[in-house]
């Protein structure tokens, strides 16, 4: 079993780390708020006081933090991984971040005789808990194959998309598809309610047909039960959409569906919903 480091124990990271621990790996963890690590520490995970301390212990280090600037700090900061990881270590950023930063990490790691992959995920809190995430990787094939057994603990749909940054580009495709879909499923619910239908019966019918989607099956039930707890934070979804729009602009590509979705979520965030789950989009239509 590998000595694995895990940095970032939020909604997704905590469950991912839990699965690695239960699979028998020695786990070294760090999070800005230590309290979030306590359930893992009680089960045998080992606490480290900084990313640098994690790098001193682990052979393979996974990071799952919030924003690109958090990734930058974890890798390049004074207490960062690149200043402390031992030769031959493998660094895997599973945060949804920018393709440009993924390439920067890859080049910096290579210069220090380290390996790096960008491997963002999809599947939300449910996928993280069940170990059924989709993992989109970018980097060298040999490194990907070396860590695939670890990825297999976390997910079931695991694909190397290409070189450095390819995983992040693929995650942008994922978020673009979800963004417009969230508008569609939410408007379907609102329409059903206004038409005097039972939304749960409507969901039973349309989720099995051509309208079916992960969001329809997993997030609409939360909408109907008024459960707005975050499987994925609105603030992080806005971050992802901004990255995708920025990348699209660089390619001379217009994405009006994505732009509209970001506009609606921005409006919700301005009203204090940034820490709600993405299914809280229905609140936009309830005003």
- The CA distance from 2 to 83, in Å, is 21
pLDDT in tens, 226-256: 999 998 999 999 999 999 999 999 999 999 9
Contact, 52 vs 80, CB < 8 A? yes
Active site residue 271: no
Beta bridge partners of 138: 118, 162
Domain ranges in the chain? 3-163, 169-285
- The CA distance from 29 to 17, in Å, is 8
Q: Which CATH number fits domain 169-285: 2.40.30.170, 3.40.30.10, 3.40.710.10, 1.10.1040.10?
A: 1.10.1040.10
CATH architecture under which domain 3-163 falls: 3-Layer(aba) Sandwich (3.40)
Largest CA distance in the chain: 64
Instruction: State the pLDDT at residue 287.
Output: 72
Token representation of residue 115: 């390996």
> Is the confidence at residue 213, as pLDDT, over 90?
yes
Query: Is there a common fold for 3-163 and 169-285?
Result: no
> Is the confidence at residue 171, as pLDDT, over 70?
yes
Please tell me which residue in 103, 104, 171, 262 is annotated as part of the active site.
171
> Is the confidence at residue 258, as pLDDT, over 80?
yes
DSSP 14: H
pLDDT in tens, 38-55: 999 999 999 999 999 999
Token representation of residue 281: 């989009």
pLDDT in tens, 116-157: 999 999 998 899 999 999 999 999 999 999 999 999 999 999
In the chain, % of residues over pLDDT 90: 97
Phi, psi of 232 (to 5 degrees): -150, 120
How is 199-251 classified by DSSP, letter by letter? Answer: HHHHHHHHTTSTT--HHHHHTHHHHHTT----SSBHHHHHHHHHHHHHHHHHT
């Amino acid at each position: 079993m590998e000595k694995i480091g895990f940095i970032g124990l939020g909604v997704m990271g905590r469950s991912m780390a839990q699965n690695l621990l239960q699979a028998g790996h020695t786990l070294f963890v760090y999070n800005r708020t230590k309290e979030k690590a306590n359930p893992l520490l009680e089960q045998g995970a080992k606490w480290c006081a900084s990313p640098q301390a994690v790098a001193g212990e682990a052979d393979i280090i996974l990071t799952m933090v919030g924003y690109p600037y958090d990734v930058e700090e974890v890798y390049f900061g004074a207490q960062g991984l690149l200043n402390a990881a031992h030769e031959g270590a493998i660094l895997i950023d599973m945060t949804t971040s920018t393709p440009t930063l993924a390439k920067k990490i890859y080049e910096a790691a290579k210069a220090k005789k380290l390996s790096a992959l960008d491997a963002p995920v999809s599947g939300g809190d449910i996928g993280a808990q069940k170990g059924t995430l989709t993992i989109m990787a970018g980097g060298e094939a040999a490194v990907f194959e070396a860590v695939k057994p670890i990825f297999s603990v976390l997910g079931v749909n695991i694909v190397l998309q290409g070189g450095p940054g390819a995983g992040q580009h693929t995650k942008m495709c994922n978020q673009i598809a979800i963004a417009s879909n969230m508008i569609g499923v939410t408007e379907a619910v609102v329409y059903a309610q206004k038409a005097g239908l039972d939304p749960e019966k409507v969901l039973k019918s349309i989720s099995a047909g051509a309208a079916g989607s992960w969001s329809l099956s997993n997030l609409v039930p939360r909408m109907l039960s008024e459960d707005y707890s975050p499987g994925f934070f609105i603030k992080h979804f806005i971050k992802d959409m901004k990255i995708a729009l920025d990348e699209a602009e660089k390619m001379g590509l217009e994405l009006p569906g994505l732009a509209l979705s970001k506009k609606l979520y921005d409006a919700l965030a301005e009203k204090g919903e940034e820490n709600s789950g993405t299914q809280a989009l229905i609140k936009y239509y309830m005003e």
